[in-house]
Structure 1
């Protein structure tokens, strides 16, 4: 293995300390040391590819009789990955499974996806979660950690214990180094998993530099038939880093630059998408525009344009800003969620027509069905807005039945609106109470209906204008202000 040259002419390489045969020998020794199956986290990037390729070659040198312990290759598709990356990873996993079968190797690849209730669009468009930020990064837990957790726990249940193989390297960040050192087992190549007592972690490339990674990939061909120079080209086009497969809360989902979810608003700019567009993938422009629009909703001065003045629990929270009090905004308004769904469907239609993937789905049918259920059950969408939006954009009707999702319609809502205006009652309050009663129909025990009605009545039902009048005069105590939370 040829060492990499640094800019000052000194040769610095992990292969100077331990040659490739010794790396393979270490992997073989760890593999043969117990009966615990291996689970390799594969994200499609350079580091996870290097780790998987090292393990593949090392186990391939063992006699067939000794490579009976299963090696599961798991890759998380968050359902909001850049289509170019999804295509690359899907093709790779198919090749891994085919080649492993042909060569009688113990590898089996799985593409994992989050549960529909955890998906990005169900939470953002369905429930109104604001676009993720560094202060509220709700996406990592739902889209990545829980997905990997389910597979690990299922494997632990079946086999008792498992070993996670991760393509992580020291020196990438101080936090990662501290975590890797914290869980190390004295005298062993394994570490404890940070959260699961019956899981262990092995990091075969922890001492590799970036140069070592590319040296190995470019000098050692992909054993499952990929061209590693295609991976290098993908990096050059994206000019970016990769999002690792995340298995704990200590491992950051992405760095300051990223190579993964096209909707990521945790970073200031999506340089990866911008670079892909500049390299000729101009059909991705609508995706970048929507991502930038979501990022704009995080601007403090503009939050009131997109987000409700009440929190998801219906309560209002205010905080001190200088000499004044201000409202901490809650989820996206229902109107903005409807706008986002329409926009997303329009973009999906556009990229299907103009891009290289005519069957690409930016939002899955199951997500659409779940969003519709949430809108009707939790956001009092008696008008079935989702079905109307879908038909207007896609030119076809949904196959979902209306049945038990809700018996009320726009006609009832119009009548109710007139009644509420006449008696000066919030329309949303009455619709929520009716929804509670409707959802409890047919249940043998209805004792919880009182608690649910109480929860609805305890929400803040003053208008935003009334709330602002009260927080502007905090000494003017009013019984209607009793629910306001000051921080």
Structure 2
């Protein structure tokens, strides 16, 4: 008898003998089989690696395994979303589960394949934060979820819809998770059916086998039977043990809350004040992750209101200084608030070097870990070279990488530096000191001229030059003064128009 057989009863015995959530498990398995056999729509099973999605995958795998081979008439796709900044200890566990499912499904002759999806390189966390200078995500600006989680999974589902017409998406969502989740489930449920309509994807239907289970039900199942594709859920239990953190479900819509407190979320998540997940892992012995926690805390610090002016450019990527108008009281009195732009280039460079140093340090402990992809570095370099506010004329990124990995040669994309180089930067910098004309302004004007050179028709060049000249090229104080003058002008203009209207009324 193996260790796993000693720890757990067979899956067959457990299902036939157990009742969970007030319902015999055998009855739930029959429901899954009935819905599976009812039509030709393939299934997409969302798998995050957490406890809920593991239960759903186990139930579906077992339901198919106990069908006759002739009844397994359509494919089941397992899809897992890898944002490329997942909590490191979870990455290997999910990869092992997907590989095991693929291997065992072949042996069991099941029409099941597991897939991992990632965001496009241009949409990853580091490309946006370090490359474009996007501020670290907050509750008010959670730019990461759609780019990194929703879009990759949605694209996978859309591809299957395009191929088959309709699909059923099986999820580990439970009503007990939150009142909002319960309302969403109820609102999209089809009357008289166990299926619901997907909140945003047409021709996709959702099925939630454990929607009425509570957390205790989930753990009773996980700790009472072995996984039908092999192995146990002991590692999963150890990951959750002594943690107040929940899990991050597979995200398929914007109704899903932040996963910042979850051991299955992103280690870079700054939407929450404290990352209890990483803190818990460090406290439970994963001390090698402490540098990741410290790095994440640095990013979070940059989002605090009192620190925004230090870390972020006063101009947006459009080259303009932006103001938001907010209501002060119930009257028409309003105030304007300066909206900061992207991170200053110097912080992006510092953070990239620190990230690479942390990665190298972890690798020296014999852990194979890539914190930032080399394909991401290529795109970040391009974005730095062509940054609209602070172009990196000295081409810093290859130098930063070489300083951390002197023996690792990357073939950087050629002809990437644009029209300007470090000597050009020195000349323009000297002219700026002498004439007071911003070097970046000169660069942008020359770059615009070069972009139109060689064309038979140069229509539009004057408009392009005009747009560049109309950007805010002074310091923040100058922009604030211009904005104040503009507001006063608008106020006087509005008052004048109001008086003129009254006068016209009297003269009629």
The two structures have a TM-score, normalised by structure 2, of 0.86
> 1:325 deviation in Å?
5.3
Find the counterpart in structure 2 of residue 467 from structure 1: 479
Q: 1:394 to 1:256 in 2, by over 3 A?
A: closer
- C-alpha distance in 1, partners of 2:76/2:383? 39
Contact 2:258 2:271 in 1 (8 A): no
SS of corresponding position for 1:227: coil
Find the counterpart in structure 2 of residue 342 from structure 1: 353
Q: 1:18 to 1:459 in 2, by over 3 A?
A: same
Find the counterpart in structure 1 of residue 380 from structure 2: 371
Contact 2:137 2:144 in 1 (8 A): yes
Q: Which residue of 310, 317, 339 maps to 1:312?
A: 317
Contact 2:19 2:25 in 1 (8 A): no
Find the counterpart in structure 1 of residue 158 from structure 2: 153
Deviates more, 1:259-268 or 1:449-458: 449-458
Q: 1:31 to 1:373 in 2, by over 3 A?
A: same
> 1:432 deviation in Å?
2.4
> 1:175 deviation in Å?
1.3
Find the counterpart in structure 2 of residue 403 from structure 1: 415
Contact 2:245 2:262 in 1 (8 A): yes
- C-alpha distance in 1, partners of 2:93/2:448? 46
Contact 2:48 2:264 in 1 (8 A): no
1:292 has 2:292 as partner: no
1:207 has 2:212 as partner: yes
1:250 has 2:255 as partner: yes
**CA shift digits 1:116-153 (9 cap, x unpaired):** 01100000000000000000000001000011111011
- C-alpha distance in 1, partners of 2:131/2:141? 17
Find the counterpart in structure 2 of residue 123 from structure 1: 128
1:67 has 2:72 as partner: yes
Find the counterpart in structure 2 of residue 351 from structure 1: 362
1:228 has 2:233 as partner: yes
Find the counterpart in structure 2 of residue 9 from structure 1: none
Find the counterpart in structure 1 of residue 468 from structure 2: 456
Q: Which residue of 370, 377, 381 maps to 1:361?
A: 370
Q: 1:404 to 1:262 in 2, by over 3 A?
A: closer
Q: Which runs of 5+ in 2 are unaligned?
A: 1-7, 10-17, 329-333, 491-508
- C-alpha distance in 2, partners of 1:94/1:414? 54
Q: 1:243 to 1:444 in 2, by over 3 A?
A: farther
- C-alpha distance in 2, partners of 1:86/1:443? 50
- C-alpha distance in 1, partners of 2:184/2:113? 29
SS of corresponding position for 2:278: helix
CA RMSD in angstroms comes to: 2.4
> 1:254 deviation in Å?
2.2
Find the counterpart in structure 2 of residue 7 from structure 1: none
Q: Which residue of 34, 55, 70 maps to 1:50?
A: 55
- C-alpha distance in 2, partners of 1:425/1:94? 59
- C-alpha distance in 1, partners of 2:277/2:318? 36
Q: 1:259 to 1:237 in 2, by over 3 A?
A: farther
Q: 1:152 to 1:444 in 2, by over 3 A?
A: farther
- C-alpha distance in 2, partners of 1:39/1:450? 53
Find the counterpart in structure 1 of residue 403 from structure 2: 392
- C-alpha distance in 1, partners of 2:320/2:45? 44
- C-alpha distance in 2, partners of 1:344/1:443? 43
Q: 1:39 to 1:320 in 2, by over 3 A?
A: closer
- C-alpha distance in 2, partners of 1:148/1:320? 37
Q: 1:219 to 1:319 in 2, by over 3 A?
A: same
Structure showing greater Rg: 2
Number of corresponding residues: 466
Find the counterpart in structure 1 of residue 94 from structure 2: 89
Find the counterpart in structure 2 of residue 412 from structure 1: 424
Q: 1:407 to 1:173 in 2, by over 3 A?
A: same
Deviates more, 1:426-435 or 1:225-234: 426-435
> 1:377 deviation in Å?
2.3
The two structures have a TM-score, normalised by structure 1, of 0.90
Find the counterpart in structure 1 of residue 499 from structure 2: none
Contact 1:325 1:472 in 2 (8 A): no
Contact 1:348 1:360 in 2 (8 A): yes
1:137 has 2:142 as partner: yes
SS of corresponding position for 2:241: helix
Q: Which residue of 267, 273, 279 maps to 1:274?
A: 279
Contact 2:137 2:271 in 1 (8 A): yes
> 1:207 deviation in Å?
0.6
Find the counterpart in structure 1 of residue 504 from structure 2: none
Deviates more, 1:182-191 or 1:232-241: 232-241
Q: 1:258 to 1:229 in 2, by over 3 A?
A: closer
1:193 has 2:198 as partner: yes
Contact 2:472 2:479 in 1 (8 A): no
1:436 has 2:448 as partner: yes
Q: 1:339 to 1:16 in 2, by over 3 A?
A: closer
Find the counterpart in structure 1 of residue 434 from structure 2: 422
